[in-house]
Chains A and B, each alone.
Chain A
Amino acid sequence: MKREKFGIKENHIFIIATMALIVLLYGYGSIAFAGFFSTQVFLNLFIDNAYLIIVATGMAFVIITGGIDLSVGALVALISMVSASLLEAGLNGFVVMALSLLIGIAFGAFQGYFIYRFDLHPWIVTLAGMFLARGASFLISTDSIVITNETYSAISQAKVYLFGDHYISIGAVVAIIVVAIAIYIAKWTRFGRNVYAIGGNVKSAGLMGLPVKRTTILVYVFSGFCSALGGVVFTLYMLSGYGLHLLGMEMDAIAACVIGGILLTGGFGYLIGPTLGVMSMGIIQTIIMFQGTLSSWWTKIAVGFLLFVFILLQRLIVMKRRKRNVIRLKKVRNNVKVQSPSQSVSSEYK
């Protein structure tokens, strides 16, 4: 099937660049460090970053509409806190999970409604949401709460064997399912396409009769849901709740999206991107772990550097796109009209 025929071809460049980066980094690690080139090391990327993949995927939809969600990291911390305290109080594990997801959905819907209804900048609304969620987690307790609930412990320790004795966690399975669903939504549903249209030109989208309001709110609902799901997965991974968990994680999620080729200006990007972004960052972290002598803060330096490179790359491509030749109608006789990709046109035609 000629899948790429439908897509936004320019974006393949970003995805290819990110994939090349992953191969390069992984190749470097494999050569430099013994034991790096193992299936389990690779699978651990998913296990250790499952929550981030989920959150970044939710974030990607928001960014594609041209928005941003800064509340995700705090929301994950809040979910970890709420879960831990409710479990401590003796609630059933599955009930706690369901409640967590409901909190995320409500939180996202609230933010989305504000952003749409009062035409507020998402940056400021979700910043408020971030403070609210972070503060609320300390309201529950200022200390870390350890989770001893049997259901959580069991799920946490469960291993899903893929082949041989290589395994991934339940959290990683959830992450992969979320990514698959996200890719489907983005490509094959009206909601997904409306997200791209709004990111491209919100005024046009409105004039074309697209449900701008519903889509905007739903995008934040989806991000809230993903954050909550990420929160549940993270809680399972850590088996504790703490208000200081994941400080600044929203920035990691945004970085993952950018490295994965989601343009911050909206309208462009593939939903596999955030996962690739998270993996690049995960591999850097693993390399630094294997290296042993470098402080783990070097991960941040490397990611910072990568971001610069990727933002620059995206910018250059966008600028080139503006300058490049557009396809114009050829001078025609009679009724045959042909495209001619070679004719150039001055920049005011964009």
Chain B
Amino acid sequence: MTFDREPDLDNANVGMPNTRILGITKYIKEVTKSVASFFVVFGGVFMVKINGEELNIAGKTVAEYLATTSYAPKRIAVERNGDIVPKAQYGETVLQDGDSVEVVSFVGGG
């Protein structure tokens, strides 16, 4: 490989970041990230919508959530983000931030 002219070694550092400024930028970025995480955890961003109501229960399983309610287990069907949650999977289905869930609770008569 050939060059039109010799590399200008006196200017070889042009374009290299100033390490002191880089350190401060990195620091600011880290702090911003920590603050954001704080709000995600404590500011209620982990919300699950259940029958239209926003609940701070992301991370719980469907079974754990149902245990806190008065639904009769044998009278319900649970839909999550457009799909039915199989009954056998209530214990392992973890509710995620932003999930939309509908618990259909049947009443008698027909």
Q: Do A and B come from one complex?
A: no
Chain A residues near B (Cβ < 8 Å): none
Chain B residues near A (Cβ < 8 Å): none
